[in-house]
Chains A and B, each alone.
Chain A
């Protein structure tokens, strides 16, 4: 999962300090590993180097930890690009899918999140169909079938989540922004 993009998403609503970003990250992505402070600052430094965020003022009595960061136009564009990119449908992309929907809801609106979910569902469905064709081919060996089954089971789990989340996304958006 891309911590850089999640931080960009968390900054979409306005400038924030590093410790606020860590809190927001851990609260919004409760299943992800908690972010270490060191990782937050290292990521912010990389984002700043690439011109995606800029320091936006310091609290008077604060050290470097008290610097707030804000998105640049390039940062906003990078976030938008990430949100509109479908993840390759391979097993174990679930946490990235989850992060993208959370960030879409925070940084944009329900339609943005829905558009992403629908595009991702299409990519997953196409891959699932390809893998199923592989295993139903008359020439399929048991090796093929077992390997395809592994990928199918994981993609199927993602797909079920994509389907139910599409139905829940409006309620979820209301909750996130209340």
Chain B
């Protein structure tokens, strides 16, 4: 059974074509970078895989089940339980502290307050931002916010993490620290990661790279899409 799979995924926004038939297989525990120039369809593909957008044609399957035909409610449940999503700008809730933000997915899933807070503190610590636990996003740096958002995306221990330019708003060092943590934690928990980026050095954190061009997988970069010999997992 395949883990996460797109088959001939087509998506347009009105008359603007975004994906022209993308086929992609992601194995369990694999970290895959999706790269390509601006506007090539990376974010659209990520949204289709994560069940946020429904493709116009083609299929998305998750552990053998076709999820693109599921109802919005069923897909949103999937995103709360099995999937985690992380965007360029953390999208933390401004009124809540870091710990409250990170605990949110657990609270939504019915975990008790105290237990959720303890878990949130653990995750903030893992991402090296324990000190901002009781601070609101408005008083944090961009890097701290992004680490909180990462902790929030990982706290449910999702089986797949979808990250769209997760370090796009950070400087080089902050970006590398967030990614290093993210990749280490993902490998530890065998979390599958789909990492969208236009930067080669960010893509290098992945096991392999899938390049898009004009809404299609670009095979001229052939060879980038094979994992490192010997692997490191």
- Measured CB to CB, the residues of A under 8 A from B are 114, 118, 121-122, 124-126, 128-133, 135-138, 152, 156, 159-160, 163, 167
Contacts and interface: CB of A to CB of B under 8 A. Distances in A.
Contact of A152 (B204, B220, B222): B204
A118 B205 contact: no
A130 B229 CA distance: 10
B114 interface: no
A125 B224 contact: yes
B220 A133 contact: no
Interface in B169-185: 179-180, 183-184
B200 A163 contact: yes
Interface of B: 37, 179-180, 183-184, 200-201, 203-206, 209, 220-224, 228, 232
Contacts of A118: 220-221
Contacts of B232: 133, 137
A125 B37 CA distance: 16
- Which 6 pairs of residues, A with B, have the shortest CB-CB distance? A132-B204, A128-B204, A159-B200, A156-B201, A122-B223, A133-B232
Contacts of A160: 200
Contacts of B206: 129
A156 B198 CA distance: 12
A124 B222 CA distance: 13
B200 A125 contact: yes
Given A118-B221, A126-B223, A160-B200, 15 more contacts: A118-B220, A121-B221, A125-B204, A125-B221, A125-B224, A126-B228, A128-B200, A130-B228, A132-B204, A132-B205, A136-B183, A136-B205, A152-B204, A163-B200, A167-B37
